[in-house]
Structure 1
Amino acid sequence: MSTQKLTAIIITFNEIDYITQCVNSILFADEIIAVDSFSTDGTWEFLNSHPKIKAIQHPFENFTTQKSYALQQASNDWVYFLDADERVTPSLQKEIIQTINSKDTASAYWNYRSFMFENKRLYFSGWQTDKIQRLFRKSRCEFVDDRLVHETLKVDGSQAKLKEKLIHYSYKNYEDYKGKMLKYGRLRALEEFNKGKKWTLLHQILRPCWKYFNHYIIRLGILDGKKGIIICYLNALGVHERYKELKRLRTNT
């Protein structure tokens, strides 16, 4: 049986604190492509000098267009996407290799993630069921154009789930995570603006409150202690920013 080849793809911007460990975790791939949106902290220099990486600079518009561009660069049909703050464990590496070389494969696979608050795992706060599409066939999948953040795949064929979890070091510190949530919020606002959604004062007030209540109480963030309070607040802040930005976009049209 011939061995299937795998392309690993990483999207980067100023990820010098994470990129070495991320790349080291995916060195088993036959091809590694990194698409960098003009980093200024040494990330680009690291990527461009690495012997196993095909490094490309490309302007960032949104996550979907950036990942669609990166996908076009892959030489192999099987691709595995990961962010610079994610790590593939040895057990996940083994499962990925076994999966793409099995006789009966799906077109795309969901990957559960373990959310890391600094260097310790966060068990609740809405992250306990976090999963994302990471492993798939390039020939059978494409990113949906109308999603600017939390990009979604359109899959031709069946989907399945990997058992092993991807490690996600999303929370480096308060200001870093706050910046992510505000950026995601503004992109979601543009996404909803493009779909013709309206801003209302009710949404501006209630949606952030519901986000916090849902993650802190219903999704058991209260069991994460102080960390749960911080994460749930910042996630709710991202929702508040979404509607604040949507109001601004509507006002300026």
Structure 2
Amino acid sequence: MAAPRGTARRDRGSGPGLPPLQRDGLPLGRGSVFALHAGRDDGDGDRGVPRAAPRTGRERRLSAREAGSAREPLSVLVTTKNEERTIRACLESVRWAEEVVVVDSGSTDGTLPIARSIADRVVDHEYENPAAQKNWALPQLRHTWTLILDADERVPPPLRSEIESVLADAGREDGYWIYRENHFYGRPIRSAGWQRDKVLRLFDRTKGEYRPTMVHEEMVLRGREGFLRERLVHEPYRDLDQYFEKWNRYSRWSAEDLRRRGVRASGSRLLVRPWLRFLRMYALEGGFREGRRGMVLCWLAAFSVFTKYARLWEAETRDEER
């Protein structure tokens, strides 16, 4: 069961009040696809008796829910681009939800066939940044209560049970933080600060939306917040190639966010902050307990800080040369 937590109103930071989100979203977005499966003959020879059409994945989920205790229906939103290695496990982990929607931004690998075989809808939408993609998608959902996942996350059975208990509780909060069990090279990391990682992902979508940042999108919730006890499994990097590919993109976005806030790429930020990040994660927060895996993780985190400020310095230098 979830642990309630006061009346805090945002993911991080502060901001002005936001207008209520649209309650009744569009039934379909551009490029939407329903994953329907054609039936076939059993071959038992009883051809004179009409047969009921095989049920779709959504009908099976609704039937399972009706057989159990009544609760609020749930929409699950997953955003994707070239996620063929992880999308199946992600979607399979939430087949029990009443609606599963995938919003894709131009995948060229096998993501779309997998998504269409499991999700209720697959919608194409041009990608701008994580926050903008999710804010566009939220009004497209059928149900008020929403769970947002990245394609490299999955809901284990204990978390599913806790979510269903929350949705059956009339006294629930308006949104819930979920701690993540972060994996690195096949093992969960239980130190280096990763053990405290949490995200606000289960919420009443009429009371929240994402702040318009380029990276590390932040949910602003107008209502009461609680915490779930069970963890969301997160496997962000399968190898270093994927890490550097992601960070090449994220470092540009992070530098843009810093520029908007008026932050400058001073020498101290370029030189000192990467070292401070490594020392904090490795020494103070126990990253050394993870062995070489922890050392690599902490150095990568320090490198990401340096790269972010190097990108900011590059942008400032170009401005001065104009």
TM-score, with normalisation over the residues of structure 1? 0.95
Q: Which residue of 2 aligns with 1:70?
A: 137
* Structure 1, unpaired ranges of 5+: none
Deviation, structure 1 residue 148: 1.6
Match of 1:34 in 2: 102
Where 2:114 maps in the other structure, the secondary structure is helix
How big is each residue's C-alpha offset from its partner over 1:50-106, in whole Å with a ceiling of 9 and x where there is no partner? 253311111211111111112121111100011111110011001111102201111
Q: How does 1:67-146 map to 2 (within 5 A)?
A: 67-145=134-212
Q: Is the aligned partner of 1:148 residue 2:234?
A: no
Tell me, in whole angstroms, the C-alpha distance in 1 between the residues paired with 2:99 and 2:282: 41
Q: Where in structure 1 do 4 or more consecutive aligned residues deviate above 4 Å? A: none
Higher strand share: 1
1:25/1:89 contact within 8 Å kept? yes
Equivalent of residue 16 in structure 1, options 74, 84, 89 = 84
Larger Rg: 2
210-219 vs 52-61, greater mean Cα deviation: 52-61
Q: Does 1:200 align with 2:266?
A: yes
C-alpha separation between the residues in 2 aligned to 1:251 and 1:35?
37
Of 93, 101, 121, the residue aligned with 1:54 is: 121
Q: Residue 2 of structure 1: CA displacement?
A: 4.9
Q: CA RMSD in A?
A: 1.4
**CA contact under 8 A between 2:91 and 2:119: conserved in structure 1?**
no
Looking at structure 2, the residues matched to 204 and 59 of structure 1 have their Cα atoms a distance apart, in angstroms, of 34
Aligned to 2:95, the other structure's residue is in SS state: coil
Corresponding letter in the other structure for 1:248: E
Is 2:252 the counterpart of 1:186? yes
Farther off after superposition, 179-188 or 228-237: 179-188
The Cα shift of 1:215 comes to 0.7
- The number of residues matched between the two structures is 251
Structure number with higher relative contact order (C-alpha < 8 Å, ≥ 6 residues apart): 2
Aligned-residue offset at 1:230: 1.0
CA contact (8 A) 1:33 1:53 kept: yes
Tell me the TM-score normalised to structure 2 length: 0.75
**Residue aligned with 2:228, SS:** strand
Identical aligned residues as a percent:
31
1:216 to 279, 282, 286: 282
Amino acid at match of 2:310: K
CA distance in 2, matches of 1:53, 1:213: 46
Equivalent residues in 2 for 1:171-182 (5 A)? 171-182=237-248
